[in-house]
Amino acid sequence: MNYSTIKITKENGYVIVTLNRPNEMNALSKDMRLELEDCFCQLEKDDSVKAVILTGGDYVFSAGMDIKEMSALPDGEIDDYFSSMIKYLQSIYSFRKPVIAAVGGIALGGGFNLTTVCDIIIASETAIFGHPELKFGLNPLFDPLRRIVGMSKAKEITMLGEPIGAQEALRIGLVNKVAPPETFMEEAKKIARELSKRSAKAVEAVKRISDIVPRLDRNAALEHEFEISALLFSRAERRDHMKKFLEELKKRKKE
């Protein structure tokens, strides 16, 4: 996959997708959004890829939408422009495999949105998140953020637009882990390597469950989870995993 605004690095079991517009602080142009959409579509079909790390590199994740591009947008192209935003975010949000955002430096506006559609967020100590959209008379993407930090905190973040440092992001549950700038990518890789060892079907099931059960009442949620458990339990792969686990347990007891 050859792209002009993103870089793809294939590792054993996972892929690193790097936003690559350094001179524009990885501003999310239409070309970048189209390339991300295509990239995730291709990676979904590749069974050798069990997880994806999405990053902007060590110093910046993304400064947000490409304001130069947006300010020059003719009225007749507005609908198509925003449709492309929905499509690229949905390609990541609905991706069947886990997506880890590795955030170094700023993730503002559209860049912040991009992190919130990922499954796990690893932040460098230098990371700063923020929604300055209201200053431009635009609304931030609300729902993915609400699902992570809750309604009242999401309102505060989107309405005030104050920057959020890495430690504060960890405290409010926005990110999963904070690491020093020199090791945050290694932390993301460690998680990707661990996920790549898991049953792909089981991980996909967890993603599906996490999306569906919040919309159900308690009894329906319980029934849905056990329906998925029964489906996974009926697969031959389950026997192999359990046999391997019991063998390792026996070995440890002997030691």
pLDDT of res. 138: 81
State how far the Cα of 75 lies from the Cα of 137, in Å rounded to an integer. Answer: 16
Residues 58, 133: one domain?
yes
Is 187 contained in some domain? yes
Residues 163, 217: one domain?
no
Say which residues have a Cβ less than 8 Å from residue 174's Cβ, sequence separation at least 6.
121, 129, 148, 149, 164
Q: In residues, how long is the chain? A: 255
Residues 135, 119: one domain?
yes
Of the residues 148, 178, 197, the one at which a domain ends: 197
Is 18 contained in some domain? yes
Say which residues have a Cβ less than 8 Å from residue 139's Cβ, sequence separation at least 6.
133, 158
| Residue 174: other Cβ atoms inside 10 A | 23
Q: Which of 181, 28, 22, 176 is nearest to 109 (CA)?
A: 28
H or E element, residue 65: none
Residues 140, 249: one domain?
no
Is 192 contained in some domain? yes
Is 127 contained in some domain? yes
Kindly report the backbone phi and psi dihedral angles of residue 48, in degrees, each rounded to the nearest multiple of 5, phi listed first. Answer: -80, -15
Dihedral (C-alpha) 213, 214, 219, 225: value to the nearest 10 degrees? Answer: 20
Domains identified in the chain, total number? 2
Is 17 within 8 Å of 30 (Cβ atoms)?
no
12-57 tens-digit pLDDT: 999 999 999 999 999 999 999 999 999 999 999 999 999 999 999 9
Residues 115, 238: one domain?
no
CATH of the domain at 155: 3.90.226.10
Is 210 contained in some domain? yes
pLDDT of res. 82: 81
- Confidence bin at 156 (pLDDT 50/70/90): very high
Is 1 contained in some domain? no
Residues 150, 222: one domain?
no
Residues 183, 207: one domain?
no
Is 106 contained in some domain? yes
Q: Which range of residues forms the domain containing residue 129? A: 6-197
State how far the Cα of 18 lies from the Cα of 6, in Å rounded to an integer. Answer: 5
The pTM assigned to this predicted structure is 0.86
Is 165 contained in some domain? yes
Which pair of structure tokens corresponds to residue 201? Answer: 């079907």
194-213 tens-digit pLDDT: 999 988 888 888 888 778 77
State how far the Cα of 253 lies from the Cα of 247, in Å rounded to an integer. Answer: 10
**Average of per-residue pLDDT values in the chain:** 89
Angle of helix 218-233 relative to helix 200-212, nearest 10 degrees, comes to 170
